[in-house]
């Protein structure tokens, strides 16, 4: 069958993948993207630190090549990400070359300049921006907000400013709030509250990105349904932006001697079931516009080093040799049957 994931599901949502610049040079990766994916998220390249390492220095090379690839293939990009507490350059929060913290005004200005440069270069291919990433922290935060340098210096206003500024610089892209563990519990409630408040104050937020770093026996179907319903009730688009299904439960810190050496059959089946449920449930909700898998094949996944460094994992749809797992043809058939 020549039909790929993106065509099998095109009547419902886009199917995307995350890539690093080097990945695109692999023939197998290129073939998989060409056949299966209609959206690409730069895994690290577009983050503040990698692309803007010094105040007056930009590192455009890798991002230009990803954007060029997207244009050539006719796929769209998710712009990931602007305001995040990780992978930010040290100059950003310092004033000049000194050790003094940057002033609030200066931080706003730096963010504005950063947005202007990125949008000027990539507006034509970026259809959605993760304007904020992971700013909510219901455990250790202040009023529910993570105590990052962004927040300590810019306060909540910088979050609102980021959306407004991005709206001006990129009038047509969809603007997203993106985070993990926001599909249930207190963190979902805090996120719904935050997004409703933004909407009530006229802040141009249009979507919520549920990252989806899950595992073989999580999440249950009900969790997926409820979260989509809660966010779409606000009038927001919902995207699953960083899906990978780990072979280990998050809190599994077994002894090294017991690490799997390959993915056990039983886990592989459960993983396939999680993927299938996700696609099927998402297809019931018009608000869901994209499911992005956080990588192409199991030879390159951040889960090899998280939450346990050096523990091999197999969370993606293609195996370590770029062969499609069985779930890929299941997903294609399921999507095609639904479109009949
Ligand atoms: C978070 C970020 C992603 C990525 C993952 C780990 O989810 O949003 O960009 O860094 O962590 O790969």
The pLDDT tens digits for 122-145 are 999 999 999 999 999 999 999 999
* 328 within a domain of the structure (yes/no): no
Whether residue 211 has its Cβ less than 6 Å from ligand 1: yes
Average pLDDT over residues 80-105: 93
Which pLDDT band holds residue 340 (cuts at 50, 70, 90)? Answer: confident
Tens of pLDDT, residues 46-77: 999 999 999 999 999 999 999 999 999 999 99
Question: Residues with Cβ < 8 Å from 39, sequence gap 6 or more?
Answer: 14, 15, 16, 17, 75, 76, 77, 78, 127, 290, 292
Report CA(109)–ligand 1 centroid distance (Å): 26
Which is more confidently placed, 99 or 245? Answer: 245
Which pLDDT band holds residue 119 (cuts at 50, 70, 90)? Answer: very high
Is the predicted pLDDT of residue 1 greater than 70, yes or no? Answer: no
* 325 within a domain of the structure (yes/no): no
Report CA(294)–ligand 1 centroid distance (Å): 9
Contact 124, 87 (CB under 8 A): no
Nearest Cα neighbor of 327 from 243, 238, 228 is 243
Contact 188, 227 (CB under 8 A): yes
Predicted TM-score of the model (pTM): 0.97
Which pLDDT band holds residue 339 (cuts at 50, 70, 90)? Answer: confident
Number of domains in the chain: 1
For residue 296, give the CATH number of its domain.
Answer: 3.20.20.80
Tell me which residue has its CA closest to atom 2 in ligand 1.
133
* 338 within a domain of the structure (yes/no): no
* 205 within a domain of the structure (yes/no): yes
* 270 within a domain of the structure (yes/no): yes
Tell me which residue has its CA closest to atom 4 in ligand 1.
43
In ligand 1, which atom is closest to the CA atom of 306?
6
Tens of pLDDT, residues 207-263: 999 999 999 999 999 999 999 999 999 999 999 999 999 999 999 999 999 999 999
Average pLDDT over residues 86-91: 96
* 333 within a domain of the structure (yes/no): no
Catalytic residues: 134, 242
Tell me which residue has its CA closest to atom 12 in ligand 1.
302
Distance CA 141, CA 183 (A): 19
What's the confidence (pLDDT) of residue 21?
A: 72
* 330 within a domain of the structure (yes/no): no
Tens of pLDDT, residues 198-210: 999 999 999 999 9
Average pLDDT over residues 261-277: 98
* Dihedral sign, Cα of residue 167, residue 282, residue 84, residue 30: negative
Whether residue 301 has its Cβ less than 6 Å from ligand 1: no
* 295 within a domain of the structure (yes/no): yes
φ, ψ (nearest 5 deg) of residue 300: -140, 100
Residue 24 structural domain = 5-320
Q: What's the whole-number average pLDDT of the chain?
A: 97
Tell me which residue has its CA closest to atom 3 in ligand 1.
43
Q: Which residues of 212-247 are buried (b: 16+ CB within 10 A; e: fewer)?
A: bbbbbeebeeebbbebbebbbeeebbbbbbbbbbbb
């Amino acid at each position: 069958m020549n039909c790929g994931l993106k065509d099998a599901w095109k009547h419902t949502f886009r199917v995307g993948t995350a890539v690093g610049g080097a990945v695109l040079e692999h023939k197998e990766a290129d073939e998989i993207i060409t056949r299966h994916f209609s959206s690409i998220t730069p895994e690290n390249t577009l983050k503040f630190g990698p692309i803007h390492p010094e105040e007056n220095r930009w590192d455009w090379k890798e991002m230009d090549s990803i954007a060029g690839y997207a244009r050539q293939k006719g796929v769209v990009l998710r712009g990931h990400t602007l305001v995040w507490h990780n992978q930010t350059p040290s100059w950003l929060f310092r004033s000049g070359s000194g050790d003094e913290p940057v002033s609030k005004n200066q931080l706003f200005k730096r963010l504005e300049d950063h947005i202007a440069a990125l949008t000027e270069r990539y507006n034509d291919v970026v259809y959605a921006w993760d304007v904020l990433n992971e700013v909510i922290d219901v455990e250790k935060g202040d009023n529910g907000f993570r105590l990052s340098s962004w927040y300590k210096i810019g306060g909540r206003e910088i979050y609102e400013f980021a959306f407004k500024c991005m709206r001006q610089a990129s009038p047509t892209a969809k603007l997203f709030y993106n985070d993990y563990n926001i599909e249930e519990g207190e963190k979902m409630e805090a996120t719904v509250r935050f997004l409703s408040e933004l909407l009530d104050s006229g802040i141009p937020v249009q979507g919520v990105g549920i990252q989806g770093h899950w595992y073989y026996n999580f999440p249950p179907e009900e969790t997926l349904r409820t979260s989509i319903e809660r966010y779409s009730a606000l009038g927001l688009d919902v995207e699953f932006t960083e899906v990978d299904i780990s072979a280990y439960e998050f809190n599994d810190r077994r002894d090294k001697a017991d690490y799997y050496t390959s993915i056990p059959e039983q886990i592989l089946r459960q993983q396939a079931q999680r993927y299938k449920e996700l696609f099927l449930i998402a297809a019931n909700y018009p608000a869901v516009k994209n499911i992005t898998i956080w990588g192409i094949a199991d030879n390159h996944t951040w889960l090899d080093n998280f939450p346990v460094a050096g523990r091999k994992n197999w969370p993606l749809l293609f195996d370590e040799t770029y062969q499609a797992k069985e779930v890929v043809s299941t997903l294609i058939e399921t999507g095609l049957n639904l479109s009949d």
